[in-house]
A and B are shown apart, each in its own frame.
Chain A
């Protein structure tokens, strides 16, 4: 069966520190992968998507970057976090049959 693992579930980081959120997918090959962010009291914003290894598209200019080093691994990173990077980050994958979301990471930048 297809599953998606996202960790950590919660994270508190100081301003200026680096970030690495990891997402891995099982039970499927060559999925489309996505990173979404939900800021407090706001909707879901698509940050990055990837249609294959090493292929990353950015939807909005920001302080974050994404990488896909393996087919089923998607990483969200930052070199120096800003207060405005706080939010709920969701990883997702899709194939012809629909979308599956991870359980999310709640990031608080202090």
Chain B
């Protein structure tokens, strides 16, 4: 079955870059996503990448996809205290388009 794994915690200093990693098992994934969840709030879609792409950049966010290794990463440049949140990677594909989430990475930004 599908499985998506992430490291649980990442701590960075304000102004540094953050890199959050994710691995998945489903080779038929069509889209891969990054969501942000702030304390007590719902999910906010940050960015997504189609499975035939290697990289996508959107302002401070860079997504890298290594399809051979089934590895996805999210780089946040110039990390700010407002970036502190839980970040979920997710993959979808197949007829039902189910979205399968990773365990989430808590990003703590130190001032």
A interface, CB within 8 angstroms of B: 32, 34, 36, 42-46, 49, 51, 57, 90, 92, 94, 98-99, 101-104, 106
Contacts and interface: CB of A to CB of B under 8 A. Distances in A.
B25 interface: no
Contact of B99 (A43, A99, A103, A106): A99
Contacts of B104: 42-44
B10 interface: no
Contact of A46 (B42, B48, B99): B99
A43 B103 contact: yes
A95 to B, nearest CB: 8
B101 interface: yes
Contacts of A98: 31, 45, 48
Contacts of A101: 42-43
A102 B92 CA distance: 18
17 contacts: A32-B97, A42-B103, A43-B88, A44-B43, A44-B104, A46-B99, A46-B100, A51-B96, A57-B96, A92-B99, A94-B99, A98-B31, A98-B45, A99-B33, A99-B92, A101-B43, A104-B41
Contacts of A92: 99
B101 A43 contact: yes
Interface string B90-108: 1010011111111110000
Top 10 closest pairs, chain A to chain B, by CB: A43-B103, A44-B101, A43-B104, A104-B42, A101-B43, A103-B42, A94-B97, A32-B97, A43-B101, A101-B42
